[in-house]
Amino acid sequence: MHSIADQIGDLAEAGEKMIERLRRKAFLPDSRKGLNVRIGIAEAAQLLGCSTNRIRMAEEDGRLPPPPASENGRRVGYTVEDMLNMRAVLGASPARAPSDTPAIIAVQNFKGGVGKSTVTTHLAHYFAVQGYRVLVVDCDSQATTTTLFGFNPHFNITRAETLYPYLSIDPTQADLAYAVKQTPWPNVDLIPSNLELFDVEYELAAAGSDGQSVLAARFRKLKQGLLDLACDYDVVILDPPPALGTISLAVMQAANALLVPLAATTPDFCSTVQFLSMMDQVIGQLIAAGISVDYNFVRLICSKFDGNDPSHAMVRTIMEQTFGPALLPVPILDSAEISHAALRMMTVYELDKPIGTARTNKRCRANLDEALGQIEQLVRTGWGRMAPADEAALLQA
């Protein structure tokens, strides 16, 4: 008869095999995840903040290559790489100035099921579509974000490719450059995670009487490592573990902005209040120990919001009364398009065509753009700049 440990091990192994099967079904076997998104000229103009005529003129005078045509002669649209080139040629890059501090945003809540990793990946891809250089750091040993980026943390990622060699008691890496991986998005990189990253928690817990000083050293080390890397990016997004452990504390101290996703349910609201109370105490202790914690902004965002559910509306009203302007006004709506995309290990921004109806996809994408655009505005405000002007504003100018 199998022991309990054997039974759990069998379940874990069966689960890992199924994840690998799903991954292979989501994108071709023996291949990496691809990006097949094409952007039409009208959407391209809107993203670039210019008119379609300006794009066509740049193509006609040779400054921009025209997009390839399909067999029937129709333009098939621009790739993400094309869009980045267009931004450079037309002077439409939103990148920060060298003197601007990169935004290092921790997406954190200790309550599970609030869509933390979904928010992280959609936020990364939103910033990518807008033309920013993005680094995502998966600090959670459960590695959901790593999986959504197309890597299987059990089969594709080793401990040596995570934060572990940098944060361990006996580090083998002096900086974080070793861990940065390219993703299908040309302007999004990833530091992946896997289950073995949790060994850092064990090591630091076993540090004995020197634990406090070792802990403080690790906090400062992660912050410095991320600051060094951030020089090459506009936005760094951190996905910490959903628990108050060593890595979570190090991440919270390394970030310069905090985004707290929460669902519109009473348990999620109560759990988030507990999270904020705990954060308040911990930050006080960190500051007392000489470890600085400072955020350019702290915001809560309501995720998985169903506007047709009266209970959601009631809880959101409670959130508004409690958190005031710290709660972002536009929630992320619960959408079948997000769920269907996640089943394919994708975000809505990676879909080359709607999974459900075109109307559902358009409504979901518009909501994500508006909700996540609120965070872009906070970042740009921190740089002393407003959001890029849209085409309509430019035409009226």
Looking at the domain assignment, is residue 34 inside a domain? no
The domain that contains 55 carries what CATH number? Answer: 1.10.1660.10
In total, how many domains does the chain have? Answer: 2
Tokens of 157: 């990622």
Same domain, 82 and 113: no
pLDDT for position 301: 95
Same domain, 155 and 50: no
Q: In a 3-state reduction of DSSP, which class is residue 326?
A: helix
69-to-34, 60, 73, 146, 354 alpha-carbon distances in Å: 21, 15, 5, 35, 22
pLDDT for position 396: 39
For 145-194, write each residue's pLDDT tens digit. 998 898 888 888 999 999 999 998 888 999 999 999 999 999 999 999 99
Looking at the domain assignment, is residue 222 inside a domain? yes
pLDDT for position 72: 75
As a whole number, the mean pLDDT across the chain is 86
Same domain, 200 and 253: yes
Domain boundary among 90, 113, 129: 90
Looking at the domain assignment, is residue 316 inside a domain? yes
Domain boundary among 90, 119, 150: 90
The domain that contains 159 carries what CATH number? Answer: 3.40.50.300
pLDDT for position 158: 92
Looking at the domain assignment, is residue 216 inside a domain? yes
Same domain, 159 and 70: no
For 322-355, write each residue's pLDDT tens digit. 998 999 999 999 999 998 888 888 899 999 888 8
Q: For a pLDDT cut of 70, what percent of the chain falls above it?
A: 87
For 33-52, write each residue's pLDDT tens digit. 678 889 999 999 999 999 99
Asked whether residue 298 carries a pLDDT value surpassing 70, the answer given is: yes
For 213-235, write each residue's pLDDT tens digit. 667 777 788 999 999 999 999 99
Same domain, 214 and 319: yes
State the sign of the Cα–Cα–Cα–Cα dihedral 388, 390, 395, 396: negative
Q: For residues 35 and 350, is the Cβ–Cβ distance under 8 A?
A: yes
Q: For residues 283 and 324, is the Cβ–Cβ distance under 8 A?
A: no
Domain that includes residue 57, residue range: 41-90
Asked whether residue 89 carries a pLDDT value surpassing 90, the answer given is: yes
pLDDT for position 248: 86
Same domain, 133 and 58: no
pLDDT for position 6: 64
Confidence of residue 28 (pLDDT cuts 50, 70, 90): very low
Tokens of 78: 């621009």
Q: How far apart are alpha carbons 365 and 363 in whole angstroms?
A: 6
Looking at the domain assignment, is residue 11 inside a domain? no
The torsion angles phi and psi of 227, rounded to 5 degrees, stand at: -65, -40
Looking at the domain assignment, is residue 97 inside a domain? no
Same domain, 190 and 59: no
Higher per-residue confidence, 245 vs 121: 121
Same domain, 131 and 214: yes
For 382-395, write each residue's pLDDT tens digit. 998 776 544 444 33
3-class SS shares of the chain: helix, strand, coil, % to 5: 50, 10, 40
Looking at the domain assignment, is residue 9 inside a domain? no
Domain boundary among 56, 90, 124: 90
Same domain, 207 and 68: no
Same domain, 75 and 120: no
Asked whether residue 1 carries a pLDDT value surpassing 70, the answer given is: no
For 235-246, write each residue's pLDDT tens digit. 999 999 887 788
Confidence of residue 129 (pLDDT cuts 50, 70, 90): very high
Q: Which of 7-11, 194-198, 199-203 has the lowest mean pLDDT?
A: 7-11
pLDDT for position 394: 38
Looking at the domain assignment, is residue 63 inside a domain? yes
Q: What is the mean pLDDT of residues 123-147?
A: 95
For 264-274, write each residue's pLDDT tens digit. 888 888 888 88
Same domain, 78 and 110: no
Same domain, 133 and 257: yes
